[in-house]
Amino acid sequence: MKREKIYEFAALRPLDDDIRQAIEDNIEKNAHRAPKDFEFGWNEDDDHRLHIIIDPVEIEVEFLSETVEVFATAPLWAKVAFTEKRRTELRDLVESVLADSNVVAARA
């Protein structure tokens, strides 16, 4: 399985403890929008990386100083099922959580 960048957003501000908590709160608030149950948590070695596992896909969100990059790792069969519609739905969900957490600008 290959790790692949699927989205990149311009960051409004760097990640800190308040933003981290807002992200967690907004993930939980929007959990019902996910296609199925998932788990999430911060990387133990790098607290600027958020892992989200929606079996069989692992999503990694990296919070850099000026950007937020979103990567996905999935088996080939799951990539085939990742249609443009599903890609857009996931992007909207991720972007909504980040915007509600004041990490990225909300889309107009």
Answer yes or no: are the C-beta atoms of 69 and 79 closer than 8 Å.
no
d(CA 99, CA 90) in angstroms, rounded, equals 14
| Straight-line distance from the first to the last Cα atom of the chain, in angstroms, rounded to the nearest whole number | 35
H/E element holding 94?
A: helix 84-100
Q: Read off the pTM.
A: 0.89
d(CA 80, CA 82) in angstroms, rounded, equals 5
- What are the pLDDT digits (tens) for 51-86? 999 889 999 999 999 999 999 998 888 887 778 888
pLDDT value of position 99: 95
pLDDT value of position 82: 77
